[in-house]
Homo-oligomer: A and B are copies of this chain.
Amino acid sequence: MNPIKSESKSQQKSSGEITDSESSGGPVSHQNQLLSPPDASGKSTALDRWLMRTMLQKAGNPEIEVVLWDESVISTASTPTKIRVKILNRSTLYKLLFDPSLYFGDGYSQGSIEVEGGLIAFNEAIDHCTHTSDTEGFYRDRFRRCLSWLKRNTIDAARSNIHHHYDIGNDFYRLWLDEQLAYTCAYFPEPDVSLEEAQIAKMDHVCRKVGLKPGDSVVEAGCGWGALAIHMAKHYGVKVRAFNISREQLAYARERARYEGLENQIEFVEDDWRNISGSYDSFVSVGMLEHVGLKNYEELGRVIARCQRPHGRGLIHSIGCNSPRMLDSWTTKRIFPGAHVPSLSEMMRIFEPQKFSVLDVENIRLHYALTLEHWLERYERELDQVRDMFDETFIRTWRLYLSASVAAFRAGSLQLFQVVFTNGANNEVPWTRAGLYQNAGQDR
């Protein structure tokens, strides 16, 4: 049970914002210029079908069938498949030509694309096709990554990007996250533990990796709704300064800290990570790096070097990928503006210029697939309540986002890295990692 009651402010029913600007801010404007409503579009032509088949071939011949508005079927499946994508009008088909990722997502959100046979299965089929280890793709991705380098993630842009996703109402997140509102990958000691237990296990795993001791001080960059800050203060007896630029999240976190009687141990600061001051035993950041922007990694390293004491260990927990690449355009436009998921070589731009010693990297990708399955299941279960808050476009957007994310972590398109690091000359590090796995949860 969540100790904090639902906020009393009345929720306005708002729509999934589909606009064509990259970072439009709030989620409330209902715009529908981009995609026209489903229509019959007449019979499909030979050109329509040839274009669709060519698109599928370019996508690597996924194991799916496409059904056009006139029921004609285009298939690249090598064996019979239940996964069918229905494109309900010609204009949707032609938009897909220009940016398949963006207009598939928008088309699905607005109902001009339907998927049969499972949204996760469809996304997995697509993701598996991109999993050839073609070197050509590697270099193409490197080029696209160079372009992304140009993207600004200034303090102002970061604020607007974060507001876009995280400030759409705590009540909404409360419907389908765990009771502590941990909105990052959980750690399941066994696959069948509950989401609640797995989120607690994740927090303990992080605390053990950085070796918290009572009286330590910790700075947390990007604290979400405060679950980890509160866990560290309550169970490890440390002082926490936690930074976030989402106002709604901070309001909730402060209220929860007061409820727990931890307001003297935790300071929640509404500010950007670039403005972290002071010195701490540990720097911890769980699920913020995705929003930092590749261009700012070296600056993040400098901030950590400035604020983490020589014998401290830090941890960065982030979604990542196996080789430098860009997130798909739908996700970066509609879900996480300004987001970038780094490869390990990219993450090293944080650590190497400062000569930090990387002690431990753990990849728990399949734990994120499972976490997302829990979220998706809860989301679908609470759909009536979501429907009271948002319109159908929003509902379909979030269903696609959660389903595509399950698929991406299952298929290996996305990874989840936890990186532990310390000052290069620090010898006060655990002799082995065995301690992480002994009497887990008993040390607090």
Contact across chains for B431 and A434 when beta carbons are under 8 A apart:
no
Residues of chain B lying within 8 A (CB to CB) of residue A135: 353
A35 to chain B, nearest CB (A): 33
A297 to chain B, nearest CB (A): 11
| A53 close to chain B: CB less than 8 A | no
Interface residues on A, range: 35 or more
Contact across chains for A362 and B427 when beta carbons are under 8 A apart:
no
Contact across chains for A366 and B189 when beta carbons are under 8 A apart:
no
| A357 close to chain B: CB less than 8 A | yes
Contact across chains for A434 and B433 when beta carbons are under 8 A apart:
no
Contact across chains for B353 and A357 when beta carbons are under 8 A apart:
no
Closest chain B residue, CB of each to CB of A410: B427
Residues of chain B lying within 8 A (CB to CB) of residue A364: 432
- Which one of A57-65, A66-74, A76-84, A344-352 is at the B interface? A344-352
Closest chain B residue, CB of each to CB of A431: B191
Closest chain B residue, CB of each to CB of A352: B323
Closest chain B residue, CB of each to CB of A432: B189
- List residues 94-138 of chain A with CB under 8 A from any CB of chain B: 128, 131, 133, 135, 138
How far, in angstroms, from A327 to B425 measured CA to CA in the complex? 18
Contact across chains for B434 and A355 when beta carbons are under 8 A apart:
no
Residues of chain B lying within 8 A (CB to CB) of residue A411: 425
Copies per complex of this chain: 2
Q: Which among B128, B189, B344 is the interface contact of A358 at CB below 8 angstroms? A: B344
Residues of chain B lying within 8 A (CB to CB) of residue A436: 433, 437
Residues of chain B lying within 8 A (CB to CB) of residue A133: 305, 353-356, 423-424
How far, in angstroms, from A434 to B410 measured CA to CA in the complex? 21
| A363 close to chain B: CB less than 8 A | yes
Residues of chain B lying within 8 A (CB to CB) of residue A146: none
Closest chain B residue, CB of each to CB of A320: B358
Contact across chains for B434 and A412 when beta carbons are under 8 A apart:
no
Q: Assuming the A-B contacts A133-B355, A344-B348, A354-B133, are A424 and B437 also in contact, with contact meaning beta carbons closer than 8 angstroms in the complex?
A: no
Residues of chain B lying within 8 A (CB to CB) of residue A191: 431
Which of A128, A305, A412, A423 is most buried by chain B, counting CB atoms within 10 A of its CB? A412
- List residues 192-218 of chain A with CB under 8 A from any CB of chain B: none
A344 to chain B, nearest CB (A): 5
A329 to chain B, nearest CB (A): 20
Q: Assuming the A-B contacts A131-B424, A322-B351, A352-B323, are A357 and B412 also in contact, with contact meaning beta carbons closer than 8 angstroms in the complex?
A: yes
How far, in angstroms, from A415 to B345 measured CA to CA in the complex? 17
- Of the A-B pairs whose beta carbons lie under 8 Å apart in the complex, a sample of 12, sorted by A's number, is A133-B305, A133-B356, A190-B431, A322-B355, A324-B352, A343-B348, A344-B345, A345-B352, A357-B363, A364-B432, A412-B424, A433-B437
Known: A128-B425, A366-B431; 13 extra A-B contacts, CB below 8 A, are A131-B424, A187-B432, A190-B431, A322-B355, A322-B357, A322-B358, A323-B352, A344-B345, A358-B361, A360-B363, A362-B433, A364-B432, A433-B437
The 9 closest A-B pairs by CB, nearest first: A361-B361, A345-B348, A323-B352, A437-B437, A434-B437, A345-B345, A131-B425, A412-B424, A322-B355
